[in-house]
Amino acid sequence: MAKLIEQAERYEEMVEFMEKVVKIVDSEELTVEERNLLSVAYKNVIGARRASWRIISSIDQKKKSRGNEDHVKLIKDYRARNETELSKIYDGSYV
């Protein structure tokens, strides 16, 4: 199932599925393939959020230099939301 989800590029769902696999396996070690699938899932979820953060930060800098404070406030709020999502992923409370 994880391979199918990966091919569909639905990495958030892949993380959810692989987390279930981890809970099922529990005391046993994950296979190399399972570890790789888990890694791919998280790498893509985190990578997308980090790319978003970089883009948002760049736009924030441009708006600040132009003095558009209304847009800057909206951008900061959205960046904070993105940072919260990243923190949840890093803390393992994403799923």
Long-range contacts of the stretch 74-81 (C-beta < 8 A, 24+): 79/53
Confidence of residue 23 (pLDDT cuts 50, 70, 90): confident
Q: What is the mean pLDDT of the chain?
A: 88
In 69-85, which positions are buried (b, 16+ CB within 10 angstroms) versus exposed (e)?
eeebeebeeebeebeeb
Alpha helices in the chain, H assignment, sequence order: 2-7, 11-25, 32-66, 69-91
Structural domains present in the chain = 2-91 (1.20.190.20)
Q: What is the pLDDT of residue 95?
A: 53
Amino acid at 42: Y
- Name which residue leads in pLDDT, 31 or 70: 31
Whole-model pTM above 0.85?
no
